[in-house]
Copies of this chain bind each other. A is one copy, B any other.
Amino acid sequence: MLKDEICETVGSEIDFSVMADAVGYALRRAQLYVYQDFIETFAAEGIRPPDFAVLMVLSRNPGLKQSEVAEALGIQRANFVAIIDGLEGRKLAERRKSETDRRVQCLFITKAGLAYLDELKPIWKSHEDRVVARLGGPQARDQLVQLLGRLYD
Question: B-contacting residues of A (Cβ < 8 Å)?
Answer: 1, 3-11, 14-35, 38, 49, 53, 56-57, 59-65, 68-69, 71-72, 74, 96, 98-101, 104, 106, 108, 127-128, 131-132, 134-136, 140-145, 147-152
Q: A4-B96, A100-B8 are in contact. Are A23 and B151 (CB under 8 A)?
A: no
Complex Cα distance, B147 from A149, in Å, reads 14
Q: A9-B64, A135-B147 are in contact. Are A24 and B15 (CB under 8 A)?
A: no
The answer on a CB contact under 8 Å between A74 and B104 is: no
The answer on a CB contact under 8 Å between A152 and B30 is: yes
Q: A7-B64, A98-B7, A147-B147 are in contact. Are A35 and B26 (CB under 8 A)?
A: no
* Chain copies in the assembled complex: 2
> Lowest 4 CB-CB distances: which A-B pairs, in order?
A7-B106, A6-B63, A26-B148, A29-B152
Complex Cα distance, B14 from A53, in Å, reads 13
Q: How far is the CB of A107 from chain B (nearest CB, A)?
A: 9
Q: How far is the CB of A80 from chain B (nearest CB, A)?
A: 14
**Of the residues B19, B74, B106, contact of A32 by C-beta under 8 Å:** B74
Complex Cα distance, B72 from A17, in Å, reads 12
- Hey, which chain B residues are within 8 Å of A11, CB to CB? 68, 71-72
